[in-house]
Every structure is written in C-alpha cells, then in structure tokens.
C-alpha cells in the first residue's frame, strides 16, 4: 500500500494545477489502402494543396466543399479534371470536421498514390483530438471515469511511442486492431473527451523511455508478461487479476474448420505445405506459461507431430474466434477443432475490462496504471520531449569533440 500511495502522490503532481503549454504533436493515421477513389467533404469548405511546404491551393476554397480524388499514372486526378502530383493534403477551411466517404474525422486528409496505382488515405490529426476518438473506439463511454482516464494515458503513450514507426510508408499508426481502434468523430462523447482532457499530455515512462503501453480487452483473470509480444520488460509482469472475473470473455468456445486452419498455417510458414486435412489425426495442447497461456499447439498428422506456436494457431484460426492463447481445452473430432478458453487479446499490460472493474471498486487512475505497469511513472509529454532534445544536443556536442 505504501508503494501505491507514494506512486499516486508523485503522479498527482503531474496532473495538479495548470498544465504547461505544449507544442502540437501531429500523428499520421492510416485509414485506407488499395483504394481507387476517395470522396472528402466538409460543409465549411476545403483547402486542397500539394503536400509540400509553401504550396498554394489547387482549388478555390470558398466553392470547394466536396472533392473526388482518384489515382492515375500521372499522380492524382481531382474532381475528374485537375491533374496534380502524387500527394495532396485536404484540410477543412473551418472547424467543421472532414468526412471521408461519409464518415467524419478531425484533422486533414493526406491522399497518396501508391506504386500499384491505388490510393492510400492518411488522417493527419493532433494527438489529443486523435485520442478523443481512440478512447471512445476502444472502450464504452459508460466506462467509469478513472478507467477512461487510464485508457487515455496508455493510448497517448502508445501513440507517441509509435511516431515514425512506419516512416517508409508515410504514416505512424494504423486505424484498427493492428494499433489502436480509431473510428473518427462518431466515437467521441462527453465522458471520453473529459477523460482525455483530464490527463492532457500525460504519458508513462519507465527509466528514461516511454513505456510500451500495451493493452487488451480481457486478460482472462491473469495478465501476460511481455514475452507474449516478444517484448520482455520489467514493468510487464504476469500477475493474477482479480478485477476481471465478470467479463463476458472469461469463458468462450470456438469450433474451427480444419481446411481453412491448415491453409492459414501453411500460408504463414508454420506448417509444411504437404499436410492435408485428411492427414490430421489429433490436435493437442502444448505447454503453457505461468499465466496459463499456451506456448504451442501440437498437430498430429499421420506419423508426424508438428508443434505450432500458439500465437500462430490463434491467428490462423481467427483472433475473434479463438480470442486468446489462454486455452483451457483443445480437441479434434475428425471434422472440427474444438477450443475453449478465457480472455480476449494478448493480455499484456492493461486489461480494459479489469480497469473498469478496478474503477467500479473505487480505485483511481493511478492505482489502475500501477497495477498493470508496475514501476512505470507518469510525466508530461512536454517535459519528456524537452529532456530528449537536451540529451540529443549533448550527444551532438560530444561527437564534435
């Protein structure tokens, strides 16, 4: 209790009083790829420019409220008649959000022609506005306030840590399960906006680095350590979670069609191509880690036994069907593989439903974060950025000597 209280007192100082002014942090969120048309609109008007510093508008803002963008061999074709280079930025003329194919988003839309002559659409959006949607896309607005605030902190930390993660493709994060859910303005609500604003600029650190702020829907009563994501960290420990017992994902069952399972495992390189459904004789659970998650699944095909990574098995079966690798029972009846288990997701870091359970028990944001990220501390992003800049300057000066 003393450790939690001291940690909370330290963190309270981060949130107390007026927050320091911060430079705007913009993110590039990949919304769509392999498109052959995108329609961007705003009732308040649009500004359409080449994506380069000092460029002038390509269309007249005061009459442009809808723009149709298509890729072609020369770059991009706007409104069926204006030929321009391969990247354009479409921004709202006023505070009215943009709509992309009918769905509202904050920020500006970067449209890029890819090498396969298709279209990539990226939302360039300010960090806190991005979080207004992420928090509401990840958890229900009815989630207790302290759990919403915890979600805001971990989502912010995850986002900042992934700046430049896909620089070769021109974006930072993807909208969806591969990074963070992001459904645009429709996911915003007053409770969510209040939670983001209450933690504005706050991120988690461990040592001198941003924490790897992983999270999942439900840990099944026991969190995973970082090895589940091939990222062992001292603050990502496997611990029993008593706050998630009433989750709807504490027990689930799945039936898996064998031909599709084998085809997916072969496509990923986890199973030889010569194994057929008629060869399969049994499916068995392999060893488990100390959180109860399987490390491997054994497939018996004739006289051969193949040990497949449990994570590969789950992805091949479908992650919404086999919801986690915390598998309790596994069997094969000659037609279907039957699976029962607990949890939803990898279980590393914060359990979203466990955080809600903690909040319902009266625990605050500090207790929630300290439980799931043991030893991590909170700080203002602006303070962290100043420290990193100062360290970089010292390194440059030292390298010149």
- What mean pLDDT, rounded, does the chain reach? 90
- Answer for the pair 326, 341: CB distance below 8 angstroms, yes or no: yes
On the question of pLDDT at 400 being above 80, the answer is no
State residue 401's pLDDT score: 56
State residue 208's pLDDT score: 87
Q: List pLDDT tens digits, range 212-222.
A: 999 999 999 99
pTM: 0.88
The structure tokens 């919304």 sit at 31
State residue 52's pLDDT score: 79
> Mean pLDDT, to the nearest integer, of 11-29?
61
Q: Which helix (H) or strand (E) holds 8?
A: helix 2-15
How far is Cα 220 from Cα 109, in angstroms, rounded to an integer?
Answer: 39
On the question of pLDDT at 58 being above 90, the answer is no
Relative to beta strand 173-174, strand 26-35 is parallel
Confidence of residue 55 (pLDDT cuts 50, 70, 90): confident
Nearest by Cα to 71 from 90, 50, 87: 87
Q: List pLDDT tens digits, range 59-116.
A: 766 567 899 999 998 899 998 888 999 999 999 988 899 999 889 999 999 999 999 9
Q: Which helix (H) or strand (E) holds 35?
A: strand 26-35
> Mean pLDDT, to the nearest integer, of 306-325?
97
Range in 47-61, 151-165, 190-204, 319-333 the model is least confident about: 47-61
Q: Which helix (H) or strand (E) holds 315?
A: helix 310-317
State residue 231's pLDDT score: 94
Q: List pLDDT tens digits, range 220-269.
A: 999 999 999 999 999 999 999 999 877 889 999 999 999 999 999 999 99
Dump the DSSP string for 79-92.
TTTEEE-SEEEEEE
Q: List pLDDT tens digits, range 323-351.
A: 999 999 999 999 999 999 999 999 999 99
- CB-side neighbour CA atoms (13 Å) of 85: 12
What Å distances lie between residue 131 and 162, 173, 200, 357, CA to CA?
14, 13, 10, 22
State residue 56's pLDDT score: 79
State residue 2's pLDDT score: 33
């Amino acid at each position: 209790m003393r450790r939690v209280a001291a940690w909370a007192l330290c963190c309270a100082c981060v949130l107390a009083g007026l927050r320091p002014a911060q430079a705007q942090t913009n993110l590039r969120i990949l919304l769509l790829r392999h498109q052959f048309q995108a329609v961007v609109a705003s009732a308040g008007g649009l500004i359409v420019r080449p994506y380069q510093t000092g460029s002038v508008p390509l269309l007249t803002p005061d009459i442009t409220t809808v723009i149709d963008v298509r890729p072609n061999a020369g770059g991009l074709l706007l409104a069926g008649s204006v030929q321009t280079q391969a990247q354009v930025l479409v921004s709202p003329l006023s505070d009215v959000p943009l709509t992309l194919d009918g769905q509202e988003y904050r920020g500006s839309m970067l449209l890029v022609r890819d090498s396969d002559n298709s279209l990539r659409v990226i939302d360039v959006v300010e960090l806190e506005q991005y979080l207004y949607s992420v928090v509401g896309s990840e958890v229900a607005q009815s989630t207790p306030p302290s759990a919403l605030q915890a979600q805001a902190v971990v989502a912010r930390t995850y986002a900042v840590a992934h700046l430049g993660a896909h620089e070769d493709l021109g974006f930072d994060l993807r909208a969806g399960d591969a990074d963070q859910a992001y459904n645009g303005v429709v996911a915003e609500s007053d409770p969510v906006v209040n939670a983001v604003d209450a933690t504005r600029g706050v991120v988690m650190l461990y040592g001198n680095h941003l924490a790897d702020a992983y999270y999942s829907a439900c840990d099944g009563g026991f969190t995973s350590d970082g090895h589940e994501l091939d990222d062992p960290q001292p603050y990502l420990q496997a611990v029993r979670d008593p706050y998630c017992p009433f989750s709807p994902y504490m027990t689930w069952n799945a039936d898996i069609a064998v031909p599709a399972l084998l085809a997916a495992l072969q496509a990923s390189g986890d199973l030889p191509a010569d194994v057929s459904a008629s060869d399969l004789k049994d499916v068995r659970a392999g060893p488990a880690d100390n959180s109860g998650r399987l490390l491997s699944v054994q497939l018996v095909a004739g006289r051969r036994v193949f040990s497949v990574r449990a994570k590969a098995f789950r992805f091949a079966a479908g992650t919404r069907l086999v919801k986690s690798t915390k598998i309790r029972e596994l069997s094969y009846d000659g037609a279907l593989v039957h699976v029962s288990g607990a949890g939803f997701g990898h279980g590393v870091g914060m359990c979203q439903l466990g955080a809600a359970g903690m909040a319902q028990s009266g625990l605050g944001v500090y207790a929630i974060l300290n439980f799931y990220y043991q030893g991590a501390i909170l700080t203002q992003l602006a303070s962290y950025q100043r420290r990193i800049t100062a360290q970089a300057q010292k390194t440059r000066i030292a390298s010149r000597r």
